[in-house]
């Protein structure tokens, strides 16, 4: 079993976490044994280990803690167990009949009795500090939002208050060690006093002067901000926290628009995970609040996803509504009949227009606008395999989707064959595996295949690390890889690439008030992310296989690192075509190469793989082909133009032009309708 597999099974992400988990797990049997002997010194050592391991795992945010909670061994139970073992120690040391033992029992009961009002206060303070909206890059200085409780009182509050038991535990252990009951009384008194102080310290933050304005006042203020700021284009998104990439990919485009942009989100979990941006952002969880807002200055609404909550903005008649999607592909989602609910559908190139025409789902040709894909600017064109190195092949399958169609993903039927053949290739390659973030969410078998592929790659990586063929390269790059690994560790210890999610948890109102990102801060964040990304790739050898999950590095970063791609029918393929590099697509449904090409535009310049992946050598031939000899190179150039549109004018210029044209249409409509059309916007919903 590889180290990475062990980490994954244990629910930890590093050797340090695993060591902390093992120490914490071993500490409880040690305390039990020490209590039975009895040995107060050994018990103190076990307690110290349990505190240290628990604290370290909480500081790292280890997923193991989630697993322990689901197994009913959560934080509170671990503290209760330690205190019960302490009482057992005292009983075995013949203190059970003494007054100090009775005081200890009462102290433990009082300790947990005080936890209830503390937890209630923390919950109430957080709830009352929550605004009906959450914002970024919106100046709330004219909305009186007083400072909330110090982060020390509310962040990880339960963990901190439970740790006030330390004086009581230390005092009672000292009773056994020294035969002096006074230590027990003193420790118990200090613990109960600390808990009481925590409760008393929170009480002032329930006073009216410490709370933000009531919801109706906040919403009234925000309507005033809308009228003053006068945004004209809204990027509207609703979805799960795992779908945040669908809106993140549009943030840079929104920041570069000629119009006045606004991002409207519906879920706080998405808001907390949103990437850094300088664009004004508002999260409005309540449909009633959103539908009562004064959105009369908006002229264009952009929708990256087809979801039911889109209706809450689609109802606004004074603006035009556009489906922009979160990728361009031949998947059935790209021709969803829901699209006819919008005024226009914007596609990257001619392929999207033809796709709707062939599907005949009610989207009229005149409502389709080709705007390119502004997000593809970071994708670098093919440069060839660097001299002295081996090709890198990226396997990026999509997820299983909502149906059992075998063509949804290659993972189930072909994934293991693809990876196995790449790992066993006579012409060595480096394999990067980046699965879709939704993999396994609907089909457990897809998740199981993902785990098997991960294990295959980790075994192959371990074998390659021991292979003498790569020893010289490993020695030459050792110092640089060590420096890069240190950079990654430093970023992880400082809170990773974004601390927004942790901040939102302790004070919603203060976070919104202070969440203004100046351009220089955004530039620094972009530079930090770029440095992290460079360190990520340098931290391992250019010959080392890697499994890449999570939001970073992003898919486009993997594109730039790879020399070829293996994927499925999805926007991954369409986006990769922008690089001009060779790619292969798996015909998982078994249509046959000719029919597969006929049905799927994006594979016209691809190597078509059956589920046995037998033709992977054709892809490697293309990677190694000298300039001008790859038979599919010209097809890739033509297909890029068809799928993504021309290089000139730029996609951003075309996107801005489409915004301007549709805004003009919306304005003309509003002028023709007069006050009657606008009045519909402010009508209070009845449901």
Find the angle CA(452)-CA(458)-CA(463) to the nearest 5 degrees: 125
Query: Among 349, 330, 328, which Cα is nearest to 646's?
Result: 349
Instruction: Give SS3 for 443.
Output: coil
What is the distance between the alpha carbons of residues 7 and 15, in angstroms, rounded to a whole number?
Answer: 8
- Asked, for residue 141, whether it belongs to a domain, the answer is no
Non-local (6+) Cβ contacts of 559 within 8 A are 379, 380, 394, 565, 575, 576, 579, 581
Mean pLDDT, range 301-329, rounded to an integer = 92
What is the distance between the alpha carbons of residues 135 and 600, in angstroms, rounded to a whole number?
Answer: 41
Do 28 and 100 sit in the same domain of this protein?
A: yes
What is the distance between the alpha carbons of residues 579 and 601, in angstroms, rounded to a whole number?
Answer: 17
**Count of H helices and E strands in the chain?**
29, 14
- Asked, for residue 501, whether it belongs to a domain, the answer is no
Strand 233-237 to 300-303 pairing: parallel
Q: Is the pLDDT of residue 644 over 60?
A: yes
What is the distance between the alpha carbons of residues 338 and 308, in angstroms, rounded to a whole number?
Answer: 10
Do 526 and 537 sit in the same domain of this protein?
A: yes
- Asked, for residue 79, whether it belongs to a domain, the answer is yes
- pLDDT, tens digit, 9 for 90 and up, residues 562-607: 999 999 988 899 899 999 999 999 998 899 999 999 888 888 999 9
What is the distance between the alpha carbons of residues 566 and 572, in angstroms, rounded to a whole number?
Answer: 10
What is the distance between the alpha carbons of residues 100 and 9, in angstroms, rounded to a whole number?
Answer: 44
The pairs formed by 550-553 with CB atoms below 8 angstroms and a separation of 24 or more are 551/244, 551/245, 551/437, 552/497
CB atoms under 10 Å from CB of 529, counted, come to 19
Do 540 and 620 sit in the same domain of this protein?
A: yes
Backbone region of residue 325 per phi and psi (left: phi > 0; alpha: psi in -120 to 50; beta: other values)? left
Average pLDDT, the chain: 89
- pLDDT, tens digit, 9 for 90 and up, residues 45-96: 999 999 999 999 988 888 888 888 888 889 999 999 999 999 999 999 999 9
Q: Which residue has the higher pLDDT, 530 or 500?
A: 530
What is the distance between the alpha carbons of residues 367 and 391, in angstroms, rounded to a whole number?
Answer: 43
Are 213 and 144 in contact by the 8 Å Cβ rule? The answer is: yes
Mean pLDDT, range 297-314, rounded to an integer = 95
Stated length of the chain? 687
What is the distance between the alpha carbons of residues 565 and 546, in angstroms, rounded to a whole number?
Answer: 14
CB atoms under 10 Å from CB of 283, counted, come to 24
What is the distance between the alpha carbons of residues 672 and 669, in angstroms, rounded to a whole number?
Answer: 5
Do 345 and 240 sit in the same domain of this protein?
A: yes
- Mutual orientation of helices 63-70 and 40-60 as an angle, nearest 10°? 110
Q: Is the pLDDT of residue 317 over 70?
A: yes
**Burial (0-12, 13-18, 19+ Cβ within 10 Å), 15:** exposed
Are 148 and 167 in contact by the 8 Å Cβ rule? The answer is: no
Q: Which residue(s) pair with 584 in the sheet?
A: 566, 607
Of 30-39, 132-141, 381-390, the range with the lowest mean pLDDT is 381-390
DSSP H helices, 37-98, are 40-60, 63-70, 75-92
- Asked, for residue 509, whether it belongs to a domain, the answer is no
Query: Among 134, 136, 133, which Cα is nearest to 278's?
Result: 136
Residue 520 pLDDT level (bands cut at 50, 70, 90): confident
- Asked, for residue 184, whether it belongs to a domain, the answer is yes
- pLDDT, tens digit, 9 for 90 and up, residues 523-569: 888 888 888 999 999 998 899 999 998 888 989 999 999 999 999 98
Query: Among 310, 54, 308, which Cα is nearest to 165's?
Result: 54
What is the distance between the alpha carbons of residues 328 and 370, in angstroms, rounded to a whole number?
Answer: 11
- Asked, for residue 537, whether it belongs to a domain, the answer is yes
Do 595 and 682 sit in the same domain of this protein?
A: no
Do 283 and 299 sit in the same domain of this protein?
A: yes
* Phi (first) and psi of residue 155, to 5 degrees: -80, 125
Q: What confidence score (pLDDT) does residue 685 get?
A: 43
Mean pLDDT, range 629-642, rounded to an integer = 90
Do 205 and 250 sit in the same domain of this protein?
A: no
Residue 507 pLDDT level (bands cut at 50, 70, 90): confident
Do 345 and 428 sit in the same domain of this protein?
A: no
- pLDDT, tens digit, 9 for 90 and up, residues 167-215: 999 999 999 999 999 999 999 999 999 999 999 999 999 998 999 999 9
Residue 499 pLDDT level (bands cut at 50, 70, 90): very low
What is the distance between the alpha carbons of residues 392 and 545, in angstroms, rounded to a whole number?
Answer: 9
Do 525 and 668 sit in the same domain of this protein?
A: no
Residue 439 pLDDT level (bands cut at 50, 70, 90): confident
In percent, the amount of the chain with pLDDT more than 70 equals 93
- pLDDT, tens digit, 9 for 90 and up, residues 415-433: 999 999 999 999 999 999 9
Query: Among 147, 155, 154, 268, which Cα is nearest to 211's?
Result: 147
Do 243 and 316 sit in the same domain of this protein?
A: yes
- pLDDT, tens digit, 9 for 90 and up, residues 94-122: 999 999 999 999 999 999 999 999 999 99
Mean pLDDT, range 641-670, rounded to an integer = 94
Indicate if the alpha-carbon torsion angle 358, 363, 368, 374 is positive or negative.
Answer: negative
Q: What is the CATH number of the domain that holds 396?
A: 3.40.50.2000
Q: In what order do the strands lie in the sheet with 564-567?
A: 546-547, 430-433, 392-396, 564-567, 583-586, 607-609
- pLDDT, tens digit, 9 for 90 and up, residues 154-170: 888 999 999 999 999 99
What is the distance between the alpha carbons of residues 608 and 589, in angstroms, rounded to a whole number?
Answer: 12
Instruction: Say if residue 649 is preceded by a cis peptide, omega within 30 of 0.
Output: yes
For residue 601, what are the domain limits?
A: 392-483+517-644
Do 8 and 113 sit in the same domain of this protein?
A: yes
What is the distance between the alpha carbons of residues 406 and 404, in angstroms, rounded to a whole number?
Answer: 6
- Asked, for residue 417, whether it belongs to a domain, the answer is yes
Domain count along the chain: 3
- pLDDT, tens digit, 9 for 90 and up, residues 374-409: 988 889 988 888 888 999 999 999 988 877 777 788
Question: pTM here?
Answer: 0.80
What is the distance between the alpha carbons of residues 396 and 382, in angstroms, rounded to a whole number?
Answer: 18
* Phi (first) and psi of residue 262, to 5 degrees: -145, 135
Do 160 and 275 sit in the same domain of this protein?
A: no
Give the residue from 629, 644, 659 where a domain finishes.
Answer: 644
Q: What confidence score (pLDDT) does residue 677 get?
A: 47
Dihedral angle of Cα 634, 635, 640, 643, to the nearest 10 degrees? 160
Query: Among 291, 268, 266, 264, which Cα is nearest to 279's?
Result: 264
Instruction: Say if residue 553 is preceded by a cis peptide, omega within 30 of 0.
Output: yes
Indicate if the alpha-carbon torsion angle 547, 552, 553, 554 is positive or negative.
Answer: positive
Q: What is the CATH number of the domain that holds 657?
A: 3.40.50
Non-local (6+) Cβ contacts of 674 within 8 A are none
Mean pLDDT, range 319-331, rounded to an integer = 84
Are 604 and 582 in contact by the 8 Å Cβ rule? The answer is: no
Find the angle CA(560)-CA(562)-CA(568) to the nearest 5 degrees: 105
């Amino acid at each position: 079993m590889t180290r990475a597999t062990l980490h994954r099974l244990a629910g930890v992400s590093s050797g340090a976490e695993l060591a902390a988990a093992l120490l914490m797990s071993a500490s409880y049997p040690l305390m039990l044994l020490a209590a039975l002997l009895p040995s107060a010194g050994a018990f103190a050592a076990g307690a110290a280990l349990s505190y240290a391991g628990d604290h370290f795992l909480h500081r790292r945010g280890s997923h193991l803690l989630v697993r322990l909670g689901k197994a009913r061994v959560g934080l509170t139970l671990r503290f209760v167990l330690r205190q019960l073992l302490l009482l057992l120690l005292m009983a075995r040391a013949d203190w059970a009949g003494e007054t100090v033992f009775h005081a200890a029992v009462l102290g433990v009961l009082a300790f947990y009795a005080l936890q209830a009002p503390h937890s209630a206060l923390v919950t109430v303070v957080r709830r009352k500090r929550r605004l009906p909206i959450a914002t970024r890059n919106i100046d709330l200085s004219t909305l009186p939002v007083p400072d909330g409780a110090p982060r020390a009182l509310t962040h990880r509050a339960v963990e901190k208050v439970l740790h006030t038991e330390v004086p009581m535990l230390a005092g009672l252990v000292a009773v056994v060690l020294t035969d002096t009951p006074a230590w027990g009384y003193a420790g118990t008194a200090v613990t109960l006093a600390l808990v009481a102080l925590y409760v008393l310290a929170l009480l002032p933050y329930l006073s009216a002067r410490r709370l933000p304005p009531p919801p109706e006042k906040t919403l009234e203020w925000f309507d005033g901000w809308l009228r003053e700021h006068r945004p004209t284009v809204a990027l509207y998104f609703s979805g799960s926290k795992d779908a945040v990439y669908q809106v993140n990919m549009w943030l840079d485009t929104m920041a570069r628009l000629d119009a006045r942009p606004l991002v409207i989100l519906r879920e706080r979990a998405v808001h907390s995970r949103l990437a850094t941006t300088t664009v004004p952002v508002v999260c409005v969880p309540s449909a009633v609040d959103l539908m009562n807002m004064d959105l009369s200055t908006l002229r264009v609404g952009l929708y990256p996803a087809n979801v039911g909550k889109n209706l809450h903005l689609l109802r606004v008649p004074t603006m035009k509504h556009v489906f922009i999607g979160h990728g361009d592909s031949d998947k059935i989602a790209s021709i969803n009949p829901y699209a006819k609910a919008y005024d226009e559908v914007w596609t990257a190139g001619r392929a999207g227009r033809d796709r709707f025409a062939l599907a005949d789902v009610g989207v009229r040709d005149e409502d389709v606008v080709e705007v390119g894909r502004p997000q593809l600017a970071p994708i670098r064109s093919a440069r060839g395999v660097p001299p002295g190195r081996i090709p890198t092949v990226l396997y990026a399958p999509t997820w299983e989707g909502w149906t059992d169609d075998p063509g949804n993903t290659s993972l189930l039927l072909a994934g293991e064959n693809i990876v196995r053949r790449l790992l066993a290739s006579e012409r060595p390659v480096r394999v990067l595996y980046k699965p879709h973030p939704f993999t396994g969410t609907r089909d457990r078998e897809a998740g199981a295949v993902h785990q098997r592929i991960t294990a295959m790659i980790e075994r192959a990586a371990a074998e390659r690390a021991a292979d003498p063929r790569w020893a010289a390269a490993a020695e030459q790059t050792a110092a640089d890889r060590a420096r890069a690994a240190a950079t990654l560790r430093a970023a992880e210890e400082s809170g990773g690439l974004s601390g927004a999610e942790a901040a939102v948890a302790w004070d919603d109102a203060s976070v919104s008030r202070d969440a203004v990102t100046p351009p220089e801060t955004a530039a620094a964040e972009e530079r930090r992310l770029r440095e992290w990304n460079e360190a990520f790739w340098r931290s391992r050898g250019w010959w080392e296989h890697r499994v890449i999950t999570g939001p970073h590095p992003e898919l486009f970063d993997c594109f730039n690192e790879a020399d070829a791609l293996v994927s499925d029918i999805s926007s991954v393929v369409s986006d990769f075509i922008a690089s001009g590099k060779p790619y292969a697509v798996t015909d998982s449904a078994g249509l046959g190469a000719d029919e597969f090409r006929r049905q799927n535009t994006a594979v016209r310049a691809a190597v078509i793989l059956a589920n046995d992946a037998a033709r992977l050598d054709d892809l490697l031939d293309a990677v190694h082909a000298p300039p001008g000899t790859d038979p599919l190179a010209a097809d890739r150039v033509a297909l890029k133009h068809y799928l993504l549109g021309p290089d000139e004018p730029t996609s951003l210029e075309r996107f801005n032009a489409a915004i301007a044209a549709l805004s003009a249409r919306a304005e003309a409509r509003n002028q023709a309708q007069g006050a009657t059309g606008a009045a519909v916007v402010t009508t209070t919903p009845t449901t």
